Chains A and B, each alone.
Chain A
Amino acid sequence: MKVLPTRCPSCSGDLSVTCLRCGTCETEVHGQFPLPALTRLSPDDQLFAAHFILASGSLKEMARLLGVSYPTVRNRLNDLIHALSSQQQQKSPPTHEHEPE
């Protein structure tokens, strides 16, 4: 199965979508579309996020299905939260307003 690349293989910069194509009428849309935050997560993180939604956000249910303890699932979720937060911080760096003297 093809994996969506999110990083440039040359310089490791963020990749974005520049062309979308309709599979029915072959219309193409060109532009600069940034990848959604969830698609920029690692495949493992994406899988975990999908399972989390399918388990109705229940960590107990996730722990039961994955065969691990509750705190193990909770820590995995913390990692995911950290990854998404880091993305958001990179997207909107804090602005330092310089007051003119």
Chain B
Amino acid sequence: MNMNPNDASFRNSAPPSAAGWLFRPFTWIAGPPALGIGCATILVTSWIGSLSRTHFDGVLDTHTSPASAPLWFYLAEGMIDWLSLAFVLAALGALLCRSGFRLIDLLGTQALARWPMLLGACALLLPGYSRTLTALMKSIPANPAASPPAPAQLLESVDPADLAMFAGALLILLLATGWFVALAWQSFRISCDARGGKAVAAYVAGLIVAEIVSKAAIAALVITALR
């Protein structure tokens, strides 16, 4: 048995593979480094979102608005999404964890888990996405009582190339959201040593509760901002 910590064979853990970094990054990074990179990613994602007027208005929500909003509002939404899920999972972790866990590990890994949303925000910058969205918005009748146009009519008003970009952007956003959910689970599993079916059920429940909490917090922020 090798007992020398300076020997290379001391490092008996497998080196991280590309798939490992993509889907289990928290095996190798957590705590303050993850917190720093994660917070920077959240801020950049919110800024890029503001360029296409895209709001991450809930832990799992992404909506593009025709109305503009100040940059601070986009940044606050990103922070609320991150902290809502992190603190709900921290409460669940305190109930499930076999031993104590460090809050900074959960906060850091939850922040970093949101990085796929940066890809989603970039995808929504595609010009075809905003042009298609504008065309679709224009085709909605101003009078709510009027019957909406048929899908065939809607498609006629949109350039096929723009429509392809629109569909591509939505697909990337959908995959990015799924990736974020998987990473957030990995963050919870590793930071709180959560295992088994009970942990999975707790995570799903935590996602739902955090979604409600974040929606309520963002609604409160809107009311405060409008005053």
Q: Measuring CB to CB, which residues of chain A are less than 8 angstroms from any residue of chain B?
A: 43-44, 46-47, 50-51, 54-55, 65-72, 74-75, 78, 81-82
Contacts and interface: CB of A to CB of B under 8 A. Distances in A.
Contacts, number: 65
Nearest to B16: A67
Contact of A69 (B11, B27, B98, B99): B27
B153 interface: no
A46 B109 CA distance: 29
B105 A71 contact: yes
Nearest to A48: B12
A75 to B, nearest CB: 5
Interface stretch (B28-36, B176-184, B199-207, B219-227): B28-36
A69 B105 contact: yes
Given A70-B102, A71-B109, 19 more contacts: A50-B1, A65-B5, A66-B10, A66-B11, A66-B12, A66-B13, A68-B13, A68-B28, A69-B27, A69-B30, A69-B34, A69-B190, A71-B193, A72-B13, A72-B26, A72-B30, A74-B99, A74-B101, A75-B193
Contacts of B34: 69
B10 A65 contact: yes
Interface in B1-24: 1-3, 5, 10-13, 15
Interface residues of B, number: 25
A67 B1 contact: no
A90 B11 CA distance: 32
A78 B5 contact: no
B193 A55 contact: no
Contacts of A47: 1-2, 12
Contact of B193 (A43, A54, A69, A74): A74
